[in-house]
Amino acid sequence: MLYWLLYPLSKHVGVFNVFKYITFRSFGAAITGIVLSMIIGPWFIRKMREKQIGQSIRADGPQSHLSKKGTPTMGGAMILGAIAISTLLWADLGNRHVWTVLFVTFATGVIGWIDDWRKIVQKNSKGVSGRQKLFWQGLIALAAGAFIYFHPEANSEQGVLTFPFFKDLAINLKLLYIPFAMIVIVGASNAVNLTDGLDGLAIGPIIITATTYAVLSYLAGNSKIAGYLQIPYIPGTGELTVFCAAMAAAGLGFLWFNAYPAEVFMGDVGSLPLGAAIGTVAVLTKNEILLALVGGIFVLEAVSVMMQVFSFKTTGKRIFKMAPIHHHFELKGWPEPKVIVRFWIISILLAIMALSTLKLR
């Protein structure tokens, strides 16, 4: 909004020319995001405690989690609030990519909110059934995929898949790109949801992934740099840098309170939309396959569950002491903070590797 309000005045007030720059507005969004989440945090936690909106703990989980009973949850609502205000304030609101990712994020946020509300406030442990969740997530992601693919400004390459490390490898999925995009968005959403099982374990890699995609969005939206790096140039994706900066910063502010021992959990209202947002940015910037590397921690967590369930169903034996894999390390005796920080370290290494693929092509 500030871009619309102040940049046109730059003819009279020269300093407003700075609103033309995505980098400046991304810093503005980041500062707004972290300040908002740091200010909202204590108020939100107090309110959740007053309303007794606290986490119930499953008895079949690691015993160390029983002490977490009653921890305020649904903190994702404050993250989404900070992201919305920062993005609407600093991004170019005429940009279709920004509206696409805002639509997916907040529509998925409604699913998470209803799930949390039913589970915690209405004490209905089922919440939204897995099937219903998957249906609505799929519908939202399918709508986004179709909008991206059929948009008149989309270039003919929209359906083309590119691969990290292999600059000459490209597969044109054509119409199949729409269900593919849906799988990326829904997969990312659910993988982040599974990962959110220790204090800060999900928000750390979310911050790292959002920061990485802030860089990737800027590069994909700059024709000169995209040409030099031989990555797809998608006009307008630079504005997603503002959204990603807001998301990373709002996540950092939330981490202040979610750090071990957590004062608040994000809830499904946080994990589902934040994962969907990352998947959507990956699709919009055409870095879909790269997301498997950048978000490798989320992939590891989801794959560990699939392996555990498959093994148990076929052989009756478990591969891990407990899935997702963060519980396996907990049951091996690693203290919770050690599991969390080691997963963050791996996430940082994967992000560095992903950015290095831009040159190693």
User: Which region among 1-9, 158-166, 232-240, 267-275 touches ligand 57M (by CB under 6 A)?
Assistant: 267-275
- Identify residues 50-79 at the interface with ligand 57M (CB under 6 A): 55, 57-58, 60-61, 65, 68, 73
Q: How many residues contact ligand 57M, by CB under 6 A?
A: 30
Question: By three-state DSSP, how is residue 359 classified?
Answer: coil
Of 74 and 231, which has the nearer Cβ to ligand 57M?
74
Tell me the two tokens of residue 218.
């800027």
Of 119 and 286, which has the nearer Cβ to ligand 57M?
119
188 binds ligand 57M (CB under 6 A): no
Q: Minimal distance in Å, beta carbon 162 to ligand 57M?
A: 32
Of 97 and 119, which has the nearer Cβ to ligand 57M?
119
* 150 burial via Cβ count (<10 Å: 0-12, 13-18, 19+): exposed
Q: Minimal distance in Å, beta carbon 97 to ligand 57M?
A: 27
Of 65 and 286, which has the nearer Cβ to ligand 57M?
65
Kindly state the DSSP code that residue 163 receives in the 8-state scheme.
Answer: E
User: Which region among 140-148, 151-159, 320-328, 346-354 touches ligand 57M (by CB under 6 A)?
Assistant: 320-328
30 and 38 Cβ atoms separated by less than 8 Å: no
Residue number with the smallest Cβ distance to ligand 57M: 61
Among 97, 133, 286, 327, binds ligand 57M (CB under 6 A): 327
- Identify residues 232-251 at the interface with ligand 57M (CB under 6 A): none
Q: Cα separation of 172 and 285, whole Å?
A: 16
Q: Minimal distance in Å, beta carbon 102 to ligand 57M?
A: 21
Check whether the bond before 164 is cis (ω within 30° of 0): no
User: Which region among 219-227, 245-253, 283-291, 308-316 touches ligand 57M (by CB under 6 A)?
Assistant: 308-316
238 and 218 Cβ atoms separated by less than 8 Å: yes
Kindly state the DSSP code that residue 262 receives in the 8-state scheme.
Answer: P
265 binds ligand 57M (CB under 6 A): yes
Bridge partner list, 54: 72
Angle between helices 96-116 and 130-150 (to 10 degrees): 170
Q: Cα separation of 179 and 66, whole Å?
A: 40
Q: Identity (one letter) of the amino acid at 150? A: F
Q: Identity (one letter) of the amino acid at 277? A: A
Q: Cα separation of 132 and 137, whole Å?
A: 8
Among 33, 159, 197, 204, binds ligand 57M (CB under 6 A): 197
Of 290 and 323, which has the nearer Cβ to ligand 57M?
323
Q: Cα separation of 101 and 107, whole Å?
A: 10
Site for ligand 57M, rule CB under 6 A: 55, 57-58, 60-61, 65, 68, 73, 193-194, 196-199, 258, 262, 265-268, 271, 305, 308-309, 312, 318, 322-324, 327
